[in-house]
Amino acid sequence: MMVIDEHYVLCFPDNKHLNVAGLGGLGHVAVKMGKAFGLKVTVISSSSKKEAKAIERLGAPALGTIDDIIDTVSAVHPLLPLLKLPIFTLVVGGKLVGGSDIGGMKETQQLLDFRAEHGITADVEVIRMDYINTAMERLAKSDVRYRFVIDAASSLSQ
């Protein structure tokens, strides 16, 4: 069991559906974490190619019932139009709209321990420094799985 200060997390009850908006560097890890916590995870992406990858590589099923959403989209986007729920519906339905920032060192260590225990890693593509411009072009086209990591040591050694 992992104990974390409730001020730093959102609680997801067992057997709930978690929807992750965005399948980038954070989103793909959120999918892995949700699955490790035993949640049924689905993905929303503006790219049908990424939704297919979510199903194929991460085992996230097609979109279905949604109980919770984790929004990992870094672009500015209005959430209010997506949430068209009157306050009464939120209260009576026991729904929660919340946000969370990273906790302290202790919470971060607990998260890292959990990820190590469950083999949860970030998928990265290692590139050399001379590939940065191409990587930026690919990033603009959403053609990256899921983070670029620059191998500075091998780039500088030549």
Q: What is the pLDDT of residue 85?
A: 58
Between 148 and 64, residue with greater pLDDT: 148
Given a cut of 90, is residue 127 above it in pLDDT?
A: yes
Q: Average pLDDT, stretch 128-155? A: 88
CA-based nearest residue to 15, from 43, 41, 46, 38: 38
70 — phi, psi (to 5°)?
A: -110, 120
The CATH number assigned to the domain with range 6-120 reads 3.40.50.720
Give tens-digit pLDDT for 8-19.
456 666 677 777
73 — phi, psi (to 5°)?
A: -75, 125
Give tens-digit pLDDT for 78-92.
666 665 556 676 677
Given a cut of 60, is residue 111 above it in pLDDT?
A: yes
Q: What is the pLDDT of residue 2?
A: 46
> In the structure, what pLDDT confidence band is assigned to residue 38 with cuts at 50, 70 and 90?
confident
Give ranges for CATH 3.40.50.720 in the chain.
Answer: 6-120
Given a cut of 90, is residue 131 above it in pLDDT?
A: yes
User: Where does the chain have alpha helices with state H?
Assistant: 27-36, 48-58, 87-92, 105-117, 132-140, 152-156
CA-based nearest residue to 115, from 37, 22, 3: 37
pLDDT, averaged across the chain: 75
* Assigned token pair, 122: 């970030």
Given a cut of 80, is residue 48 above it in pLDDT?
A: no
Q: Average pLDDT, stretch 151-155? A: 84
